[in-house]
Chain A
Amino acid sequence: RKEVEQDPGPFNVPEGATVAFNCTYSNSASQSFFWYRQDCRKEPKLLMSVYSSGNEDGRFTAQLNRASQYISLLIRDSKLSDSATYLCVVNLEYGNKLVFGAGTILRVKS
């Protein structure tokens, strides 16, 4: 089993749609979780951290379910500019071993 697994993509959605990505992790001792966004041929950039209580930033909502060992990202009212690859990142152990999921491609179309 991979340490971090994400929904297979690509997700093709129309503008204005709501789309959700899930990510599961194998190590129950994982301490911190993040969603990154990566545009084509660019470096990943932090989209949001994921807290136990869940967090929201505008159209983006991230949630953590420790019991089931998954995190999710919800994007509401999708924009064309949301088209990118979304990477789930888990810090697997104390001392920072950041492991990335394979990424989910989102394509928002007009």
Chain B
Amino acid sequence: DGGITQSPKYLFRKEGQNVTLSCEQNLNHDAMYWYRQDPGQGLRLIYYSQIVNDFQKGDIAEGYSVSREKKESFPLTVTSAQKNPTAFYLCASSPRDENTEAFFGQGTRLTVV
């Protein structure tokens, strides 16, 4: 089955530790995105990538880093510099054609204690 997979679904980390969230898609999509969602809030764009080996900062990139070494993978690292990392993280992908929808993974709920 084609789709986009995020892992793990729940993640707990101690304050001050870096953590990497996985996002893999087998839809052959060029574009991939990372969003953050806080309780009762909308989605805010962290980073996005339109093509392999290229990515751009979104609205809230500080404290995060990404890589796009392979078309199917777009991991997100939440660094210790992120002041308030506890949130719901959503990864999405879409074809490069701007008129098509984005498909989401099931999300990773990160809790930093």
Contacts and interface: CB of A to CB of B under 8 A. Distances in A.
The answer to whether A and B belong to the same complex is: yes
Nearest to A95: B50
Contacts, number: 60
Interface stretch (B14-22, B61-69, B72-80, B98-106): B98-106
Query: Which of B31, B50, B102 has the most C-beta atoms of chain A within 10 angstroms of its own C-beta?
Result: B102
Interface of A: 6, 31-32, 34, 41-46, 49, 87, 89, 91, 94-103
Given A46-B101, A98-B48, 11 more contacts: A32-B100, A43-B90, A44-B90, A49-B99, A87-B43, A89-B102, A96-B94, A96-B98, A97-B56, A99-B45, A100-B43
Interface of B: 31, 33, 35, 41-45, 48, 50, 56, 58, 88, 90, 92, 94, 96, 98-102, 104-107
Contact of A102 (B42, B45, B50, B104): B42
Given A96-B50, A98-B33, A31 B98 contact: yes
Contacts of A49: 99, 101
A94 B42 contact: no
